[in-house]
Amino acid sequence: MLPEKICYGDTIGIIAPCHIAVRDKYTRFIAGIRALGFNIKEGKNLYNNTYGFAASEQERADDFNEMVADDNVKMILFGGGEVCIQLLPYIDYESIRRHPKIICSYSDGTTILNAIYAQTGLVVYYGQFPGMFAGLSHYDYLQFKSHFVDGNAGTFVSNSNWTTLTGGANTGVLIGGYAANIALLTGNKYFSFDRTKQYILFLESYEAYSTPGEISAHLAYIEQSKLIDNVSGLLFGHYSVKYFPELMQSLERFGKKHHIPVAACDDFGHGINHAILPIGVHARLDADNKSLTFHDGTS
The pLDDT of residue 153 is: 80
The pLDDT of residue 295 is: 80
> Looking at 122, 138, 154, which one is the last position of a domain?
138
Residue 146 lies in a domain: no
Residue 211 lies in a domain: yes
Is the pLDDT at 297 greater than 80? The verdict is: no
Residue 251 lies in a domain: yes
Whether 290 contacts 164, CB under 8 Å: yes
Residue 3 lies in a domain: no
Over residues 125-168, the pLDDT tens digits come to 999 999 999 999 999 999 999 999 998 788 999 999 999 999 99
One domain, residues 272 and 225: yes
One domain, residues 68 and 184: no
Is the pLDDT at 217 greater than 90? The verdict is: yes
Q: Is 129 helix (H, G, I), strand (E, B) or coil?
A: coil
Over residues 73-114, the pLDDT tens digits come to 999 999 999 999 999 999 999 999 999 999 999 999 999 999
Question: Which of 25, 285, 2, 280 has its CA nearest to residue 129?
Answer: 25
One domain, residues 114 and 216: no
One domain, residues 84 and 171: no
**Residue 241's domain is classified under what CATH number?**
3.50.30.60
One domain, residues 294 and 167: yes
**Residue 69's domain is classified under what CATH number?**
3.40.50.10740
Residue 158 lies in a domain: no
Angstrom distance (rounded) from CA 104 to CA 77? 5
Residue 157 lies in a domain: no
Question: Which of 136, 81, 179, 171 has its CA nearest to residue 273?
Answer: 136
Angstrom distance (rounded) from CA 24 to CA 56? 21
One domain, residues 172 and 69: no
Residue 153 lies in a domain: no
One domain, residues 100 and 167: no
DSSP state of 50: T
Residue 73 belongs to what H/E stretch?
strand 73-77
Residue 149 lies in a domain: no
Distance of CA 183 to the CA centre of its chain: 14
Domains in the chain, number = 2
One domain, residues 232 and 127: no
Task: Give residue 189's domain range.
Answer: 163-298
- pTM here is 0.96
Over residues 240-276, the pLDDT tens digits come to 999 899 999 999 999 999 999 999 999 999 999 999 9
